[in-house]
Amino acid sequence: MKPQFLIGGATSGSGKTIFALGLLRALRNRGFKVQPFKCGPGFMDPLLHTISSGTDSVNLDSWFAGRTHLQYVYNKYGEKADVCMIEGNSALFDGYRRMQGSSAEMSQLVSVPVILVVNARSAAYSVAPMLYGYRHFRPQVKVIGVVFTQVSSPTHFSYLKDACNDAGLSCLGYIPFDDNLKLPQRHTAITLSVRSEIEEVAEKASAYVEQNVDIERILKMCMRIFPCEYTLPYTSDVEETDTNIINSDKKIKIAVAKDSAFNFMYKENLDKLSSVGNIAFFSPLFAKELPEADLIYFPGGFPELFARQLYRRKEFLHHLNEFANSGGKILAEGGAVALLAQTITVRDGGTPYEMSGILPIHCFMNKGGVVSGYRLLSDKSARLKGYESRYLSVDNDGVKDNSGISTIIIENTRGVDTGTPLYRYKNVVAGFTHLYWGDSDILSLWN
């Protein structure tokens, strides 16, 4: 038995991330080891969790993987923790198709109750019917209590407590309105200065949680049997039968880019890679030479924010181009595709920065803002799912005239071509989709 719960938002922008960070830090300060999880495909919130809790956060997403695998992942990472906390994605019942992929679905999948977070800035007792609806809409989704954010005063909170009582839900506390309690923008690299800002927010939120939230009651109400039971039928071995995905007993050398520009990677993906190879991390922002490796993995991030610094690593970019053209295996995801492009332009009318020139494409900032959504890649060698979230656009004209480049169509959840394919050049595989291979064979891309 251990406390386990999901923090769900009544609406998007409810303040659930602030509450999650405050609770994580408060529990950490009390000596608890908390295992944070993030429902959904996002990268920024898991990075915030990791900073606040001191433990790597893990994504759980039912579009990426089946029920049994997700339950296995939850149990594997939660086993050594004192408390398991899942932060939901969007509003509680919002999925890619009705409830499918929603936080509510995830709470059922791993058998944990929900703490609902409600932004009360423009409401008081009128939240009662909404709370009643959340409690009764899907009775199998166990919403057991409410935390309010943006509360203006103790008097305001008293009205909210009345609403909880009449809706039949426990009122677990609140976080007051504080205009300084703001997180960095989403399109921000986690540099040392940004990390310091996040630390300040986590500490401030933690102080509010200690003062105004009944932590002991949350831990007591959310005590549940651990581990959660696997959904039948079981896989042949949930520990994964992937010992044959490389045709040699000798483990391959895998170099993984990791710094402020490249840090969007799924924890379970890294664990899967470590099972087939020896991983060494390196920083493209500071490296002069390419590390010795059989496979180089460039995870996503925001390299466009470091375009000038990457442009200055000319020796590194030259070695990367040579590695690719000599048949070296490269996997690049998300914004990392820009590193393999001819150029990247970060502002209208700005000078393009030369990159490694491996792919005949040019990247520039997308005027329409972020492009995002679930993605499906399917061809004769692999079937993988993932998530695309990018601020970059790409000029593909050079691909059409280059016989050495092939592309694989990537579709959304409705089976529609997204227009941003997976590029293949020799042993280079690159695409704006962040792939999830925690329960798949990523090396099948090179078969």
What tens digit of pLDDT does each residue of 255-306 get?
A: 999 999 999 999 999 999 998 899 999 999 998 889 999 999 999 999 999 9
**Cα separation, 386 vs 373, whole angstroms:** 9
Quick one: average pLDDT of 412-436?
93
> Is 80 exceeded by the pLDDT of residue 243?
no
Quick one: average pLDDT of 199-217?
96
What would the pLDDT profile of 46-96 be if each residue is shown by its tens digit? Answer: 999 999 999 999 999 999 999 999 999 999 999 999 999 999 998 999 988
Q: Which residues on neighbouring strands pair with residue 277, listed in sequence order? A: 252
Query: 3-class SS at 272?
Result: helix
Q: 342: pLDDT confidence band, cut at 50, 70 and 90?
A: very high
pLDDT of amino acid 369: 82
Whether residue 360 contacts residue 402, with contact meaning beta carbons closer than 8 Å, is answered with: yes
pLDDT of amino acid 226: 92
CA angle (261, 265, 266) in 5-degree steps: 165
Whether residue 434 contacts residue 266, with contact meaning beta carbons closer than 8 Å, is answered with: yes
Q: Which residues on neighbouring strands pair with residue 160, listed in sequence order? A: none
Q: How many CA atoms lie within 13 A of 78 on its CB side?
A: 27
Which residue is associated with the tokens 């993995």? Answer: 297
pLDDT of amino acid 247: 40
**Cα separation, 240 vs 447, whole angstroms:** 19
Whether residue 359 contacts residue 405, with contact meaning beta carbons closer than 8 Å, is answered with: yes
Which residue is associated with the tokens 């059922």? Answer: 108
pLDDT of amino acid 232: 57
> Is 70 exceeded by the pLDDT of residue 235?
no
**Cα separation, 7 vs 117, whole angstroms:** 7
pLDDT of amino acid 428: 96
3-state helix, strand, coil in the chain (%, to 5): 30, 30, 40
Tell me the longest C-alpha to C-alpha distance in the chain. Answer: 70
> Nearest to residue 134, comparing CAs of 95, 99, 169, 102?
169
> Is 70 exceeded by the pLDDT of residue 237?
no
Whether residue 28 contacts residue 54, with contact meaning beta carbons closer than 8 Å, is answered with: yes
Q: How many CA atoms lie within 13 A of 300 on its CB side?
A: 26
> Nearest to residue 295, comparing CAs of 390, 437, 409, 439?
437
> Is 80 exceeded by the pLDDT of residue 421?
yes
Q: 378: pLDDT confidence band, cut at 50, 70 and 90?
A: confident
**Cα separation, 232 vs 63, whole angstroms:** 18
pLDDT of amino acid 387: 95
- With pLDDT > 90 as the criterion, what percentage of the chain qualifies? 74
pLDDT of amino acid 443: 85
pLDDT of amino acid 249: 53
> Nearest to residue 427, comparing CAs of 289, 297, 339?
297
Taking each continuous run of H as one helix and of E as one strand, the counts in the chain are 13, 25
DSSP state of 178: -
What integer best gives the mean pLDDT of the chain? 91
Whether residue 438 contacts residue 73, with contact meaning beta carbons closer than 8 Å, is answered with: yes
Q: What is the pTM of this model?
A: 0.91
- With pLDDT > 70 as the criterion, what percentage of the chain qualifies? 95
Cis peptide before 139 (omega within 30 of 0): no
Rg (CA), the chain: 23
**Cα separation, 189 vs 291, whole angstroms:** 24
pLDDT of amino acid 315: 95
Q: Which two tokens stand for residue 430?
A: 């690159």
Q: Which two tokens stand for residue 388?
A: 């695309």
pLDDT of amino acid 173: 97
**Cα separation, 361 vs 149, whole angstroms:** 45
**Cα separation, 365 vs 115, whole angstroms:** 38
**Cα separation, 410 vs 377, whole angstroms:** 5
pLDDT of amino acid 250: 57
What would the pLDDT profile of 131-165 be if each residue is shown by its tens digit? Answer: 999 999 999 999 999 999 999 999 999 999 999 99
DSSP labels for 310-323? Answer: HHT-HHHHHHHHHH
